[in-house]
Structure 1
Amino acid sequence: MSSSTEQPETASELEREISHDEFDPVGTLVLIFIYFVIVAALWVFMYFVEFLGNGPTVV
């Protein structure tokens, strides 16, 4: 019984080597940007908690 789609026989046929110019780490950049936004938002929140209250406090 033969299948309609041909399956690769070895793992080397599944691998595709990409060059340095083809590599586009968009997902990594998105995660770094999200992390930066979270850190910036927490920094702004801490500014309001620390300096806009009755006075400086130790957190």
Structure 2
Amino acid sequence: MAFTQLNSNTTRVWVRLEWSPENLAERAWAALGFDNMQVRADLLRFKEFIETGRSGSDA
């Protein structure tokens, strides 16, 4: 993961994830793009936490 400051209020987060699916279920999950969707969802929760100090599950 790397952070690049774009201006005083904006930072870009770069993520490179490498993994090798180990079984049929993981290969199917990856082939359908669910691994990428999970990473994106996790990064959006991270963004929310950094910007607000609260996670999406905080009530």
Same fold (TM over 0.5): no
Task: Give the TM-score, by structure 2 length.
Answer: 0.39
Structure with bigger helix share is 1
Task: Give the TM-score, by structure 1 length.
Answer: 0.39
Bigger Rg over Cα: 1
Structure with bigger strand share is 2
